[in-house]
């Protein structure tokens, strides 16, 4: 069974258990064995900007970062900037909870090795991401 450790300032609009459900769905959709742990941490835009600068050399905030560990025991950390996500949700015209789930799923897919650097890989990853989001909502 996959354990989900959620920390930080969890947005009020995010119903309890929704992230856990989304992450379980991500493992199912990616045909991965749902065991081990995934940590999801909510941070400020300033915090994620610092992490983005330190680890990616990009001096600006972003919506989500993933830091892999040692699957399948500890998959790693998904760091989400809730304020940044709120802006994106507004631009997309979707509820905040949906955008937060989308970002968590996106981050977990990165922990599993998915990427979107190449168009073909990105198309596959984003299709899987949206399938999970659709299943959750």
pLDDT value of residue 56 = 97
pLDDT value of residue 53 = 98
CA distance 122 to 101: 18
- Return the CATH number at 32: 3.40.390.30
Closest-CA residue to 27 (of 45, 46, 1, 48):
1
- pLDDT tens, residue by residue, 58-107: 999 999 999 999 888 899 999 999 999 999 999 999 999 999 999 999 99
Report the domain count for the chain. Answer: 1
Q: Which domain holds residue 67?
A: 2-136
């Amino acid at each position: 069974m996959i354990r989900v450790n959620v920390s930080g300032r969890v947005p009020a609009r995010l119903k309890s258990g929704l992230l856990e459900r989304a992450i379980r769905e991500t493992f199912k959709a990616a045909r991965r064995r749902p065991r081990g742990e995934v940590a999801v941490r909510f941070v400020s835009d300033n915090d994620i900007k610092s992490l983005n600068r330190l680890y990616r050399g990009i001096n600006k905030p972003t919506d989500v970062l993933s830091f892999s560990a040692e699957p399948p025991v500890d998959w790693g950390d998904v760091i989400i900037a809730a304020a940044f996500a709120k802006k994106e949700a507004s631009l997309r015209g979707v509820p905040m909870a949906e955008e937060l789930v989308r970002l968590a799923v996106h981050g977990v897919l990165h922990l599993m090795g998915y990427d979107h650097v190449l168009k073909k890989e990105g198309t596959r990853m984003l299709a899987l991401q949206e399938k999970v989001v659709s299943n959750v909502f």
